[in-house]
Structures are given as structure tokens and as C-alpha cells.
Structure 1
Amino acid sequence: MSAPAHSPARAARRTSTGKRLPWWSVVLPALSFAVLLVLVAGPGQAHASPATQDGPGIAYLVGRLLDVLPL
């Protein structure tokens, strides 16, 4: 009795154990790579804020944390 022959395209979609991969096991990593590549490649309107910018800053944040935490 001979084993059934597989075409190269069909064999490429199988894992080493012989099971087929679900569609999302290829699509999700490719999609996440594309999203991260777009985030890194296109800085958009991101700019560093100046140190003298009006606003609460670190001192305000530390004060609020000390008020909230029971010390």
C-alpha cells in the first residue's frame, strides 16, 4: 500500500507534526509586525515637550502619590 502524495503547496502549510496551521497563526504575527513597523517608521506629530512647559510635572505627580498611598 503506498502513501498518498502531497503537493508542495499543501505540504508547506503543515507543521512538523503533520497538523495544518490555522489561518490566524500566520496573519496575526504579520499584522503585528506591520503595525509596529508603521509606529516606528512614522513618527507623526510626536515631539518632546520642553522642560519649562506649564503644567503639574513630576512634583505634582509625586505629591498626589504620597497623598493616595497610606504611609
Structure 2
Amino acid sequence: FLDKYCSASGQRINHDKSSIFFSKGCLGQVREAVKNSLQVHNETLSERYLGMPTNVGQSKNGTFKYLRDRVWEKIK
């Protein structure tokens, strides 16, 4: 699938910059199989991506509170 995307778009995947994130319940064997299939071996989750939190979780109010605070400050 990724090879088809690259061919169609003219873009290339930089495997050194790529990372993957799995949920807590994902089995180790599945993780390894997916990482090997995608050739992505960096398993991390950065705190933010494009300025937005990557791991929202259950508490969306707490996660996005900083946005509400920033907007409120500009409104004042």
C-alpha cells in the first residue's frame, strides 16, 4: 500500500524519521510483525505533533485546556 502511495504521489518514506505507536493491548508479536512489514522500527509517541497533543486519552478537557486558555487570553 505504501509503495503504491509513493509511486502515485512521487513522495518517499524516510524510514529513519518514521515512528509508530501501538495501543497498550497490542501484542508484542503483532507489534514486531507490523514494524517489520512497514520497515519502521522506531516505536515512540511524541508529546505534540503540529502543535497538537498526540495522546488525548479520556480527559479531553484537561488535554485541550491550554487552547481554551490561549483563546480566552486573546479575547480579553
Q: Please say whether Structure 1 and Structure 2 have the same fold, judged by a TM-score greater than 0.5.
A: no
Name which one, 1 or 2, has greater alpha-carbon Rg. 1
Q: Which has the higher contact order (CA 8 A, sep 6+)?
A: 2
In the superposition, the TM-score normalised over structure 2's length comes to 0.27
More helix by share: 1
More strand by share: 2
